Amino acid sequence: MSGVNKVIIVGRLGANPELKTVSSGQTVARLSVATSESWAGKDGQKQERTEWHRIVVWGKLAELCGKYLSKGRQIYLEGKLQTRSWEDDSGQKRYATEIVANKIQFLGGNQEQDGSGMSGRDYVDRHDEFGPEPTFDDSEEIPF
């Protein structure tokens, strides 16, 4: 029986997307997305916690994120957790766990308000519109 590796996030971008082109010519975008939760503590005071998520987006979906997303924009995304490793300059093995997004919906605003040409209901889905997700070559570090 195979497992399930699915992540769903609704949050806000902490910075503009960073776009790069890897040696294969494929575009990759890195997003930093914050999710927050709040609750009342035992003393009745409001408590809040923010988590920051590292998001990686490939191909045409990455290009669209670079074109239409900016710091503060709220998004819905679906993807999977993936951990990659590399050796740093001192030879130590490093690890990073990221969400590899395969579906992103741009939330909030519309074309009249933000000028992006995309409404809050528009979304892109790698599987439906852009074919299968490319394979990740562990020998090639994401250039961030």
Residue 86 within a domain: yes
pTM over 0.85: no
Instruction: State mean pLDDT over 51-77.
Output: 95
Residue whose structure tokens are 């957790």: 81
Q: What percent of the chain has pLDDT over 70?
A: 75
Helix or strand holding residue 113 (H, E): helix 111-114
Domain with 85 in it: what CATH number? Answer: 2.40.50.140
Express each pLDDT in 97-106 by its tens digit.
Answer: 999 999 999 9
Radius of gyration of the CA atoms of the chain, in A: 17
Whole-number Å distance between alpha carbons of 116 and 114? 6
Q: Which amino acid is at 138?
A: D
> How many domains does one find in the chain?
1
- What angle (nearest 5°) sits at the alpha carbon of residue 6, between those of residues 99 and 87? 35
Query: Is 7 a residue whose pLDDT tops 80?
Result: yes
What token pair was written down for 57? 């987006």
Spatial CA neighbour of 34 closest among 65, 57, 12: 12
Is 144 contained in some domain? no
**Nearest one of 79, 100, 75 to 7, comparing CA atoms:** 79
- Report whether pLDDT(121) > 60: no
**Within a domain: residue 81?**
yes
Please give the backbone phi and psi of residue 112, each rounded to the nearest 5 degrees, phi first. Answer: -70, -35
Residue 78 lies in a domain: yes
Residue 86 CA to its chain's centroid (Å): 20
Quote the mean pLDDT of the chain: 81
Establish if 63 belongs to a structural domain.
yes
| Distance separating the N- and C-terminal Cα atoms of the chain | 35
Q: d(Cα 49, Cα 68) in Å, to the nearest integer?
A: 28
* Residues of the domain holding 102: 7-37+48-129
Whether the Cβ atoms of residue 19 and residue 10 lie closer than 8 Å to each other: no
